[in-house]
Amino acid sequence: MPARWEERVPPSSRLPGFYKLTPTQRAALVGEAMGLSADDLAALTPDGGLQVAQADTMIENVVGVYGLPLGIATNLTVNGRDVLVPMAVEEPSVVAGLSYAARMVRVGGGFHADADEPVMIGQMQVLDVSDLAAARLRLLAARADLLERANAVDPVIVGLGGGARDIEVRAFPSSPVGPMLVVHLLYDARDAMGANAVNTAVEALAPEVERISGGRVALRILSNLADRRLARAWGVVPKEELAIEGLTGDQGVRRIIEAYAVAVVDSYRAATHNKGIMNGIDAVAIATGNDWRAIEAGAHSYAARSGRYAPLSAWERDADGNLVGSIELPMAVGTVGGATKAHPQARVALGILGTRSAREFAGIMAAVGLAQNLAALRALAMEGIQRGHMALHARQVAMAAGATGDLVERVAERLVSEGVIRLDRAQAVLAEYDE
Ligand code: NAD
Centre of ligand 1 to C-alpha 285, Å, is 14
Q: For residue 78, give the nearest of 104, 113, 44, 102 by alpha carbon.
A: 113
Q: For residue 199, give the nearest of 296, 123, 301 by alpha carbon.
A: 123
Q: Which of 389, 393, 409, 413 is catalytic?
A: 389
Nearest atom in ligand 1 to the alpha carbon of residue 189 is: 20
Nearest atom in ligand 1 to the alpha carbon of residue 193 is: 25
pLDDT digits (tens, 9 = 90+) for 174-213: 999 999 999 999 999 999 999 999 999 999 999 999 999 9
- Chain centroid to CA 386: how far? 28
Cα–Cα distance measured from residue 29 to residue 8, given in angstroms and rounded to the nearest whole number = 14
Centre of ligand 1 to C-alpha 56, Å, is 20
Residues 6+ apart with CB under 8 A from 88: 68, 69, 70, 283, 286, 287, 345, 349
Q: Residue of the nearest CA to atom 19 in ligand 1?
A: 191
Decide if 341 is catalytic: no
Cα–Cα distance measured from residue 192 to residue 188, given in angstroms and rounded to the nearest whole number = 9
Q: Which of 90, 91, 131, 316 is catalytic?
A: 91
> Length of the chain, please?
435
Nearest atom in ligand 1 to the alpha carbon of residue 198 is: 26
Q: Model pTM?
A: 0.90
Ligand 1 pocket check for 58: Cβ under 6 Å: no
Decide if 184 is catalytic: no
Nearest atom in ligand 1 to the alpha carbon of residue 338 is: 32
Ligand 1 pocket check for 71: Cβ under 6 Å: no
Do 327 and 302 touch, CB atoms closer than 8 A?
no
Centre of ligand 1 to C-alpha 121, Å, is 13
Q: Residue of the nearest CA to atom 40 in ligand 1?
A: 294
pLDDT at 4: 61
pLDDT at 58: 94
Residues 6+ apart with CB under 8 A from 366: 113, 115, 231, 232, 233, 327, 328, 329, 331
Q: Residue of the nearest CA to atom 1 in ligand 1?
A: 337
Cα–Cα distance measured from residue 63 to residue 56, given in angstroms and rounded to the nearest whole number = 8
Nearest atom in ligand 1 to the alpha carbon of residue 191 is: 19
Decide if 239 is catalytic: no
Centre of ligand 1 to C-alpha 279, Å, is 24
Cβ atoms within 10 Å, residue 207:
11
Decide if 91 is catalytic: yes
Of 193, 198, 355, 361, which is best to mutate to test ligand 1, by the most ligand atoms within 8 angstroms of its C-beta?
193
Ligand 1 pocket check for 194: Cβ under 6 Å: yes
- Measured torsion, CA atoms of residues 257, 260, 262, 266, in degrees rounded to the nearest 10: -150
pLDDT at 1: 40
Instruction: Using 50 as the pLDDT threshold, list the residues of the chain that sit under it.
Output: 1-2
Q: For residue 267, give the nearest of 309, 326, 210 by alpha carbon.
A: 309
